Amino acid sequence: MKNTFKTTLLLSLMTGLFLAVGYWLGGQSGMIMALVFAGISNFAMYWFSGSMVLKMQGAQPLDIAQYGTIERMVQDLASKDSLPMPKLYFVDTPIPNAFATGRNKHNAVVAVTRGITEILDDNELKAVLAHELGHVKNNDMLVSTIAATLGGAISAIAQMAMFFGGNDKDAPNPIAAIAMMLLAPLAAMMVQMAVSRSREFGADDHGAHLVGSGKYLASALQKLDDFKPALENYQPSPNQEATNHLMFTNLFTLQGVSSLFSTHPTTEARVARLQRNDTYGRQS
């Protein structure tokens, strides 16, 4: 209930910000345009967010014949967690990661990459899958997708205003429009960051409780962090950047101002949190 309230509050703030940007950039007509845009975006994200993310990642249904161990892990975890069995997908990339998507528990998808299956042992991989089921249990997937979409929509409206301007008599002067064009996307990303960081800690705790220990998840996080130097010169695609907030961990190095908008806590913070909590195995 607490998580639902916090989620609702954050998304309400995001929507309010979205409408405010529309008003300040185009007066009443801009606010109406923003409201329509927000409605369309929310509708599309609710019904199609899962399939959109899978397409952006190039994910395919998991080959059960080759990865039957993963199916059995998820079946065991979902049963313990009283969750419906999610659909399982596979992304054929050496970049080690995992993610969950879908609009609710009954339409959830859990995906893993080839890279993560090659780097982690079974205990670590099961802990990562438990983390992703934590997102499913806490209804995090849709929240983060909508937050990202609204943030992108705010940026789109700002860009349209730069080219077309506002015709409404209440529209601001050009300096105000430029200020909103710069500040609105930043504010949107700050809200997304708040959602994402809190949900990662919550999913870590949930996953550790589900497997009975935080040590395997901490070990998995450390192994993936150790892999990051191999990606130092890697340039992520636009699709990888757009879906990075959904991933188990951020493997891409962000520089300068972009580093302020990291959607994940640091690996050090997550590992330390898991290691100092020694009660996972004694709680149901």
* Active centre residues (catalytic): 132
* HEC per residue, 6-41: HHHHHHHHHHHHHHHHHHHHHHHHHHHHHHHHHHHH
Contacts of 168 (CB under 8 A, 6+ apart): 26, 27, 28, 29, 30
Residue whose C-alpha is closest to residue 30's, from 185, 238, 177: 177
Contacts 24+ apart (CB under 8 A), 185-191: 185/151, 185/154, 185/155, 185/158, 186/261, 187/17, 187/154, 188/14, 188/17, 188/18, 188/147, 188/150, 188/151, 188/154, 188/155, 189/151, 189/261, 190/261, 191/10, 191/13, 191/14, 191/17, 191/147, 191/151
Decide if 214 contacts 279 (C-beta within 8 A): no
Q: 3-state SS of the chain: helix, strand, coil percent to 5?
A: 70, 5, 25
Gap between the Cα atoms of 107 and 102, Å rounded? 5
Task: Name residue, tokens 């923003």.
Answer: 34
Task: Name residue, tokens 């806490």.
Answer: 138
